[in-house]
Amino acid sequence: MNKEEAIVKRIIADVRKTGDAAIIKYAEKFENIKISAQELRVAPQEIEEAFSFVGSEFVSTIRLAARNIRAYHEKQKQSEWFDTLPDDVVLGFRIIPIESVGLYVPSGRAVYPSSVLMNAIPAKIAGVKRIVIAVPCGKNKKVNPYILAAAKEAGISEIYKMGGAQAVAALAIGTRTIKKVDKIVGPGNIYVTLAKKMLFGEVGIDKLAGPSDVVIIADESADIRFISSDMAAQAEHDPNSKAVLISTSDDILRDAKAQMKKLKKSGQCKFYKANDLDEAARLSNEIAPEHLELLVSVPHALLGKITNAGAVFMGPYSPVAVGDYLAGPNHVLPTDGTARFSSPLGVWDFVKYQSVIGYTKPALSRVRKDLIRFSSIEGLKAHGESVNIRFKEF
């Protein structure tokens, strides 16, 4: 067990044992904030004041983003179905919203009102009844007003001033002040990620977020200014963020390396030469990036060869930033190569699927011998007897 894991394990144990007191203790220890249990929940007045503070222009911007995110995620909703087969057999597929969800919203190195919208809106569309936000507050015991304004726009009013592993533990376990939730979503630092990992099973989680990354595939038609700007934008997320350029052009690679060195970002960047775009696509699929930009002359021709990427940005006027903020698709994406088997956050993350099976006596009789045969081969005789007993006379 490394140092971070030991710290998180201790924090979870403290929250399990002392509840609110642990949240208060760690707020003072890690953030130098003295807060009482009564102050943990953001008051309605604070939300209204924040909404007034941010101004009409920002409100207009978050409403545009919310409309686009809502419209995109509405298309993700699935339908339940039921089939009636011979002998009145009924088979079905139900979609049930998760009862309660906690949204972790980071605040520190940067402020992320966009994350509020990206997490809350799909949950609302899925039909989640209780949506809770956990977000660190400042030393003035106030949550950033832009976060609160986004929460109000998303229709979330249950917000708690807490961050780190202790916030995840409180949402998973529950305290006197904070009722536990069924699932926790949203990215955070290493302590948040480890807490989600350790508490999985006691609570559901979306994914374990790693450092953000981007791959850019560029041919000779690409604008070096766009490439270097997009690589720099990715690098500003976090010191561990990664930007990778794959190009068929030696000139593009040379100029991009020079630009990144000039910006002192070369340590977070990697550069690869590809003989052609097919090879570039294969290399990108091996990396399985969170974000993939196709800065090539015909991006649609390359799209069909991309199998592993959280989100694909097509052409020179589709920077990652447009997806991060307001295009509509979710910006909570699989990181660290997990795009090989994982997907963006979506409505599907906030529902459960349920199978429905209804057999009649004639239908069960028709498959009785097959069921007995299966149970005998698997050595589970009681399974077979559970079928046979339904045909015995008593």
User: Helix H segments across 243-329?
Assistant: 250-262, 277-287, 299-303, 320-325
Q: What is the pLDDT of residue 109?
A: 66
Q: What is the pLDDT of residue 210?
A: 86
Angle 190-199/3-18 helices, nearest 10 degrees?
A: 60
- Residue 302 tokens read as 């390359």
Query: With contact defined as beta carbons under 8 Å apart, do 61 and 148 qualify?
Result: no
Q: What is the pLDDT of residue 309?
A: 98
pTM: 0.93
Strand pairing report for 81-85 and 89-97:
antiparallel
Q: What is the DSSP string of 21-54?
A: HHHHHHHHHHH-----GGGSBPPHHHHHHHHHHT
Provide the CATH topology of domain 3-205: Rossmann fold (3.40.50)
Name the active-site residue from 153, 290, 293, 331.
Answer: 290
The reply to whether 291 belongs to the active site is yes
41 three-state secondary structure:
strand
DSSP 42: P
Q: What is the pLDDT of residue 237?
A: 79
Name the active-site residue from 73, 237, 291, 331.
Answer: 291
Provide the CATH topology of domain 213-339: Rossmann fold (3.40.50)
The reply to whether 385 belongs to the active site is no
Q: What is the pLDDT of residue 242?
A: 92
Domain boundaries, given as residue ranges, for the chain: 3-205, 213-339, 359-391
Strand pairing report for 291-295 and 311-314:
parallel
- Please, what's the largest Cα pairwise distance for the chain? 88
Separation CA 244–CA 263 (nearest Å):
15
Phi/psi at 82 (5° precision): -140, 135
| Domain 3-205 shares a fold with domain 213-339 | yes
Q: What is the pLDDT of residue 123?
A: 98
Query: With contact defined as beta carbons under 8 Å apart, do 281 and 219 qualify?
Result: no
DSSP 111: B
Separation CA 184–CA 101 (nearest Å):
6
- Mean pLDDT per block of 10 residues along the chain (394 residues) reads 92 97 95 93 95 94 98 97 97 98 86 94 98 94 95 96 97 97 94 96 92 96 96 87 96 95 85 98 98 98 97 97 97 95 97 98 97 97 96 85
